[in-house]
């Protein structure tokens, strides 16, 4: 009895011992519990219901067995927490000679649904840590497996001139690596593509004019305390743009085997085009967010009707034909302002507007002066205080049309395929009308961001436009109407202008 460590209990204490006994779940109970929700177990059960897997058996409690052997659930990888529990359990089962209790490894293999080699491998690491007197470390080295990534010397790319890294193959040659490595670095955003546009050259006088323009855009009542820009509701931006019948190179997405489109013209150098004059202002919304004025005054083509010189199969000689004006003169520009823009302002401009209406134009040669006699005579017939101003020279970034509007309607127009001048005019006007006024309002906020960047760059156009997540702010209902440049920036701009004026003297 002593060798077996067995004692004979009396009947009086037996009842208390039995009451103190508690049942522990067996390994089979844990397997049954883990089978629930396993993808592969459920797939086998579905096949059994269809009569495909006859070697398996589903018991009344929902468990699955094969040849009287319980089917363990599928396990992909063992977590670090499970490895820690296995190590701690085996350390408690360790004998004085260093080995574990007989059957302990098998029980853990069944419990955690893995092989005995896996349990022994975890135990080997735990035993080595204990012998070395270190804390238990079961961190997996799975991330260090496989072929290591090749990281080239990225400083080579910095030392390479920009004209020698214009495509992936050139970048791979500069880094002395494969093209696939460069593509991987692009996906990981270590290397990024950059589209670079040529900007107008600016003289010192141009920079001074740009800075003065930025300061004039600040509300005079706030410039001393908390400067903010004017709301720009009284400014109309006008500019010209060529719209082509089609592009010389167009990108499409086709299905495999789909016939590619065939486009042709007599000469790619002389694709038909029409110049348009666009006029836009900042859209206005009421308190409920409903647009009361979309800001789109109109887009007017420079075209003319001329009689056909020769007959053709489509029309006889002398039939009026629509032709584009090859060049826009000062007279044509003046007629467009007087006959098209002024009537559009009288028709569409909000009646509750107070104060002058500023028409902003660039410094192109055909543009008329602010004191043009015919222009002044035309605006006398209106009841509005209309003024014509020039934006700073070599500054297309200060015009809302060049900033974003023209690119937006160009993208909408490219979704059509006009073949005649009438169709081209219709496509451009339809694209102009489809442009969303909500996006138009964001363009004027971007224009205020441009003014801030110009002041930071001391009048230069070498800056990167900042982003304030306007769409996200609009969804939250906190999109501002005007932006607030810092008082320090405004004061620094004033000081910089004074210094430039002293140098010019």
Encode pLDDT of 19-67 as tens digits.
Answer: 554 445 555 666 666 666 666 677 777 777 777 655 667 777 767 665 5
- What is residue 292's predicted lDDT score, i.e. its pLDDT? 93
Higher-confidence residue: 504 or 99? 99
Question: How confident is the prediction for the chain on average, in pLDDT?
Answer: 84
**Could you list the residue range(s) of the whole structural domain that residue 169 is in?**
148-196
Do residue 276 and residue 382 come from a single domain?
Answer: yes
101 within some domain:
yes
Do residue 441 and residue 493 come from a single domain?
Answer: yes
- What is residue 308's predicted lDDT score, i.e. its pLDDT? 87
- What is residue 309's predicted lDDT score, i.e. its pLDDT? 86
Residue 7 pLDDT greater than 70, yes or no: no
Encode pLDDT of 404-445 as tens digits.
Answer: 899 999 999 989 889 889 999 999 999 999 999 999 999 999
13 within some domain:
no
- What is residue 52's predicted lDDT score, i.e. its pLDDT? 66
Burial of 490 (0-12, 13-18, 19+ CB in 10 A): buried
Residue 391 pLDDT greater than 80, yes or no: yes
Do residue 115 and residue 46 come from a single domain?
Answer: no
CATH number for position 443 = 3.30.420.10
Find the mean pLDDT for residues 159-186. Answer: 93
| Entry pTM | 0.71
315 within some domain:
yes
Question: Which of 143-147, 201-205, 244-248 has the lowest average pLDDT?
Answer: 143-147
Do residue 283 and residue 344 come from a single domain?
Answer: yes
Answer yes or no: are the C-beta atoms of 399 and 237 closer than 8 Å. yes
**Encoding tokens for residue 189?**
């955003």
Q: Which of 177, 133, 184 is nearest to 157 (CA)?
A: 177
Residues whose CB falls within 8 Å of the CB of residue 243, separated by 6 or more in sequence, listed in order: 273, 274, 275, 276, 410, 413, 424, 428
Find the mean pLDDT for residues 169-195. Answer: 93
Confidence of residue 456 (pLDDT cuts 50, 70, 90): very high
Confidence of residue 381 (pLDDT cuts 50, 70, 90): confident
Encode pLDDT of 306-353 as tens digits.
Answer: 888 888 888 888 888 888 888 899 999 999 999 999 999 999 999 888
Compute the distance between CA of residue 279 and CA of residue 265 in angstroms, rounded to an integer.
32
Residue 371 pLDDT greater than 70, yes or no: yes
Do residue 379 and residue 402 come from a single domain?
Answer: yes
Do residue 68 and residue 181 come from a single domain?
Answer: no
Answer yes or no: are the C-beta atoms of 296 and 251 closer than 8 Å. no
Do residue 137 and residue 152 come from a single domain?
Answer: no
- What is residue 433's predicted lDDT score, i.e. its pLDDT? 93
Higher-confidence residue: 366 or 109? 366
Do residue 461 and residue 366 come from a single domain?
Answer: yes
Compute the distance between CA of residue 432 and CA of residue 243 in angstroms, rounded to an integer.
12
68 within some domain:
yes
Find the mean pLDDT for residues 464-475. Answer: 89
9 within some domain:
no
283 within some domain:
yes
Encode pLDDT of 254-270 as tens digits.
Answer: 998 899 999 888 888 88
| Count: domains in the chain | 4
Higher-confidence residue: 58 or 217? 217
Ramachandran category for residue 317: left, alpha or beta (phi over 0 → left; psi -120 to 50 → alpha): beta
| Torsion from C-alpha of 479, 481, 484, 485, nearest 10 degrees | 100
Find the mean pLDDT for residues 375-390. Answer: 91
Residue 75 pLDDT greater than 70, yes or no: no
Do residue 157 and residue 300 come from a single domain?
Answer: no
Do residue 380 and residue 295 come from a single domain?
Answer: yes
356 within some domain:
yes
- What is residue 4's predicted lDDT score, i.e. its pLDDT? 44
Q: Which of 250, 344, 251, 242 is nearest to 293 (CA)?
A: 344
Do residue 84 and residue 165 come from a single domain?
Answer: no
91 within some domain:
yes
Q: Which of 364, 362, 356 is nearest to 398 (CA)?
A: 362
Share of the chain above pLDDT 90, in %: 48
- What is residue 64's predicted lDDT score, i.e. its pLDDT? 66
Share of the chain above pLDDT 70, in %: 86
Do residue 173 and residue 318 come from a single domain?
Answer: no
Compute the distance between CA of residue 220 and CA of residue 230 in angstroms, rounded to an integer.
9
């Amino acid at each position: 009895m002593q060798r077996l460590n067995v004692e004979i209990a009396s009947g009086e204490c037996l009842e208390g011992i039995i009451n103190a006994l508690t049942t522990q779940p067996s390994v089979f109970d844990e397997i049954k519990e883990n089978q629930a929700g396993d993808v592969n177990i459920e797939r086998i059960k579905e096949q059994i219901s269809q009569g495909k897997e006859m070697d398996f058996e589903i018991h009344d409690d929902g468990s699955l067995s094969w040849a009287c052997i319980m089917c363990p659930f599928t396990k992909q990888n063992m977590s670090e927490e499970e490895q820690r529990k296995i190590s701690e359990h085996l350390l408690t089962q360790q004998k004085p000679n260093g080995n574990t209790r007989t059957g302990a490894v098998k029980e853990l293999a069944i419990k955690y649904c893995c092989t005995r080699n896996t349990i022994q491998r975890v135990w080997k690491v735990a035993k080595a840590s204990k012998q070395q007197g270190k804390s238990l470390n079961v961190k997996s080295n799975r991330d260090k497996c496989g072929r290591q990534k090749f990281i080239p010397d990225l400083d080579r790319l910095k030392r390479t001139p920009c004209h020698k890294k214009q495509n992936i193959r050139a970048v791979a040659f500069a880094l002395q690596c494969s093209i696939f490595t460069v593509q991987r670095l692009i996906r990981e955003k270590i290397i990024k593509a950059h589209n670079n546009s040529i900007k107008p050259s600016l003289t010192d006088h141009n920079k001074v004019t740009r800075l003065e323009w930025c300061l004039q855009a600040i509300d005079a009542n706030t410039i001393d305390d908390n400067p903010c820009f004017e709301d720009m509701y009284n400014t109309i931006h006008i500019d010209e743009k060529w719209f082509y019948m089609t592009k010389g190179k167009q990108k499409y997405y086709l299905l495999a085997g789909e016939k590619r489109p065939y486009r042709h013209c007599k000469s790619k150098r002389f694709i038909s085009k029409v110049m348009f004059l666009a006029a836009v202002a900042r859209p206005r919304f009421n308190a409920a967010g409903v647009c009361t004025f979309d800001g789109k005054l109109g887009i007017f083509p420079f075209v003319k009707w001329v009689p056909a010189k020769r007959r053709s199969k489509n029309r006889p000689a002398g039939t009026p034909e629509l032709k584009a004006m090859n060049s826009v003169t000062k007279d044509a520009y003046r007629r467009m302002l007087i006959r098209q823009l002024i009537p559009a302002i009288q028709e569409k401009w909000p009646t509750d507007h107070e104060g002058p209406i500023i028409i902003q134009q660039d410094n192109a040669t055909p543009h008329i002066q602010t004191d043009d006699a015919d222009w002044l005579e035309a605006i006398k017939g209106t009841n509005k205080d209309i003024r014509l101003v020039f934006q700073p020279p070599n500054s297309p970034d200060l015009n809302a049309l060049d900033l974003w509007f023209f690119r937006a309607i160009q993208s909408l127009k490219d979704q059509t395929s006009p073949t005649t001048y009438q169709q081209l005019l219709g496509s451009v006007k339809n694209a102009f009308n489809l442009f969303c006024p909500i996006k138009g309002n964001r363009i004027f906020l971007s224009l205020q961001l441009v003014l801030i960047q110009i002041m930071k760059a001391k009048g230069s156009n070498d800056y990167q436009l900042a982003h304030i997540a306007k769409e996200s702010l609009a969804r939250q209902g906190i999109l501002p109407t005007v932006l607030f440049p810092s008082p320090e920036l405004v004061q620094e701009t004033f000081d910089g202008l004074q210094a430039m004026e002293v140098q010019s003297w």
